[in-house]
């Protein structure tokens, strides 16, 4: 405190370079602006219940009950790693260090242009939505998935096959690879050989 003014002094081990670190810092400052210090004794509180002490079980309950609100439009997928789930949540909330994000935070970078096309500024919207290669790849993967599901459905109906998700995934991977190497301009990718699972 300096007189009646509350002054915050920050000491960091390193500069806040990553976009999510700066976002967290901005959020913290916004929260602290509303803090009004009093003469009463301060006490730590874990969670929303007064007097609640820290415990692993209570923390797990908090995370479980907060999932829908945190995920928003993104449904948590248990088939993929936590890292990929979190990364996609950050993509949806524009919290990855794309060139435009780094530039807004006055971080010196050689160029803000897209590393794929080199024509426009790299951003989440351009990289994952409007860039032509992205749209073609997503569209091809979607069509390969629907085709693989329909073929496997017919195998179940007409040949008595058992539902097997891994076979669908294998078919999607092989089909997408074949389309890329025979029908697109990206033939240098090559056919995916040595795939460890061959359901047929």
Question: Is the domain of 110 the same as that of 137?
Answer: no
Q: Is the dihedral of CA 81, 85, 87, 91 positive or negative?
A: positive
Averaged over successive runs of 10 residues, the pLDDT of the chain (200 residues) comes to 67 69 77 70 62 64 53 71 88 90 89 92 91 84 92 93 91 86 64 44
End-to-end C-alpha distance for the chain, whole angstroms: 73
50 within a domain of the structure (yes/no): no
- pLDDT tens-digit readout, 29-84: 777 777 676 666 666 666 665 666 666 666 666 655 554 444 446 678 888 888 88
Q: How many domains does the chain have?
A: 2
**pTM beyond 0.75, yes or no:** no
Q: Which residue, of 121, 152, 178, is where some domain finishes?
A: 121
39 within a domain of the structure (yes/no): no
Q: pLDDT value at position 111? A: 93
Exposed e or buried b per residue across 65-75, where buried means at least 16 C-beta atoms within 10 angstroms of its C-beta: eeeeeeeeeee
Question: Is the domain of 17 the same as that of 78?
Answer: yes
Question: Is the domain of 113 the same as that of 150?
Answer: no
Question: Is the domain of 76 the same as that of 22?
Answer: yes
CA distance 96 to 126: 13
And the tokens for 91? 């993509």
* Residue range of the domain that includes 185: 132-189
Question: Is the domain of 180 the same as that of 110?
Answer: no
Q: Whats the size of the chain, residue-wise?
A: 200
């Amino acid at each position: 405190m300096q007189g009646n003014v509350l002054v915050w002094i920050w000491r960091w081990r390193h500069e806040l370079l990553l976009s999510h670190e700066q976002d967290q810092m901005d959020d913290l400052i916004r929260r602290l602006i509303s803090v009004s210090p009093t003469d009463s004794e301060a006490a730590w509180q874990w969670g929303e219940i007064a007097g609640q002490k820290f415990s692993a079980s209570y923390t797990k309950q908090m995370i479980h009950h907060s999932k829908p609100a945190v995920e928003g439009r993104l449904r948590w997928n248990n088939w993929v790693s936590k890292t990929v789930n979190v990364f996609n949540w950050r993509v949806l909330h524009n919290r990855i260090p794309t060139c435009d994000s780094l530039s807004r935070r006055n971080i010196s970078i050689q160029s803000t242009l897209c590393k794929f096309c080199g024509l426009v500024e790299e951003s989440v919207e351009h990289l994952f939505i409007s860039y032509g290669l992205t749209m073609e790849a997503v569209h091809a993967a979607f069509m390969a998935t629907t085709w693989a599901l329909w073929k496997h459905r017919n195998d179940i109906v007409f040949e008595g096959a058992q539902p097997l998700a891994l076979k669908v995934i294998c078919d999607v991977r092989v089909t997408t690879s074949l389309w890329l190497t025979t029908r697109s301009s990206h033939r240098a990718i090559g056919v995916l050989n040595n795939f460890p699972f061959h359901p047929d």
